[in-house]
């Protein structure tokens, strides 16, 4: 998965989270929150296309 997919997961997760809160479905809210967190983690991973990004994070 790349940064674009990570962003898609964050958006979908936040949407589920909001809908779950509006309709009072705690399971949907929690599922959305977890999906948004996975998307954020995916976006924070260094890209394989830029090997120097890992080095930048270490300094």
Residue 13 CB contacts under 8 Å (≥ 6 apart), including other chains: 31, 32, 33, 34, 35, 36, 37, 38, 39
CA-closest candidate to residue 38, choices 20, 57, 12: 12
pLDDT at position 10 over 80: yes
Quote the domain boundaries for residue 53: 3-58
Global pTM reads 0.69
Please compute the mean of the pLDDT values over residues 29-38 and round it to a whole number.
94
What distance in Å separates the CA atoms of residue 23 and residue 7, rounded to the nearest whole number? 24
* Res 51: pLDDT: 62
Give the chain's domain count. 1
Asked if 56 and 19 touch (Cβ cutoff 8 Å), the reply is no
What secondary structure does DSSP assign to 29-44, as a single string? HHHHHHHHHHHHHHHH
């Amino acid at each position: 998965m790349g940064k674009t997919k990570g962003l898609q997961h964050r958006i979908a997760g936040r949407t589920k989270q909001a809908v779950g809160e509006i309709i009072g479905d705690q399971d949907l809210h929690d599922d959305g929150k977890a999906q948004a967190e996975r998307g954020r983690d995916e976006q924070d991973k260094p890209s394989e296309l830029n090997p120097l990004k890992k080095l930048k994070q270490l300094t």
